[in-house]
Amino acid sequence: MANYEELAKSVIEGQKDQVLDQVKSLIAAGNNPLEIVNEGLIAGMNVVGVRFKAGEMYVPEVLMAAKSMSGGLELVKPLISAADQKSKGKILLGTVKGDLHDIGKNLVGMLIESGGLEVINMGVDVPTEDFIDAIIEHEPDIVALSALLTTTMPAMQDVIEMLEDEDLRGKVKVIIGGAPVSQEYADTIGADGYAPDAGSAVELCKRLLASK
């Protein structure tokens, strides 16, 4: 009997070396790669997401858990066929122009990825035109924009307006987040959703994908 619970526990505790050892053992024992991912790695991250949202875990612990999960994932990925790896949705993620904050954005990306979605992380200080080019190239289901400064929030509106100008607005959902951002601001600029924290961002993405 494969011990996925032990693997999930190591992910939750952010024990990267332990996770790598356990994944190698599970692979060597002939366990199904998809089961290792879903019942071990992702099961652990799901617990992390719930605890983080409840205020029982903090950003450094979540980042350690996410790094542990990513390490395990890298070992398993080559064993999963392309057909099995089909993503449940594609999210383009980035911090808007003029803003260099990325911890929150990266956390959102890691949690979204652990939910089985594909994430294209564009980094920080992303010009509006680059978002548009990436949307044309990657055709994501959702664009997630992050801003941590009130001075960079208008760049979120710029992205939405340029999507409208390029006739792309109907093809992609836009969600926003970051400390100064609110649901009210999301409504004002015509975004499809707002998430106050990383856990909520995952739920919001899944909800928007389900309604497509």
**Which percentage of the chain shows pLDDT scores above 90?**
65
Statement to judge: residues 178 and 101 lie in one domain: yes
Q: Looking at 44, 60, 79, which one is the last position of a domain?
A: 79
Structural domain contains residue 84: no
Q: Quick: pLDDT tens for 181-198.
A: 999 999 999 999 999 888
Closest alpha carbon to 163 in 141, 136, 137, 187: 136
Q: How many beta carbons lie within 10 A of that of residue 136, not counting itself?
A: 11
Closest alpha carbon to 43 in 82, 69, 76: 69
Domain count, the chain: 2
Q: Quick: pLDDT tens for 10-45.
A: 999 999 999 999 999 999 999 998 899 889 998 898
The owner of tokens 């999960």 is 69
Range of the domain at 28: 4-79
- CA distance linking residue 28 with residue 9, whole number of Å: 20
Statement to judge: residues 46 and 121 lie in one domain: no
Statement to judge: residues 107 and 203 lie in one domain: yes
Statement to judge: residues 143 and 163 lie in one domain: yes
Lowest average pLDDT, out of 58-62, 144-148, 151-155, goes to 58-62
Q: Which tokens belong to 113? A: 């990825």
Statement to judge: residues 94 and 153 lie in one domain: yes
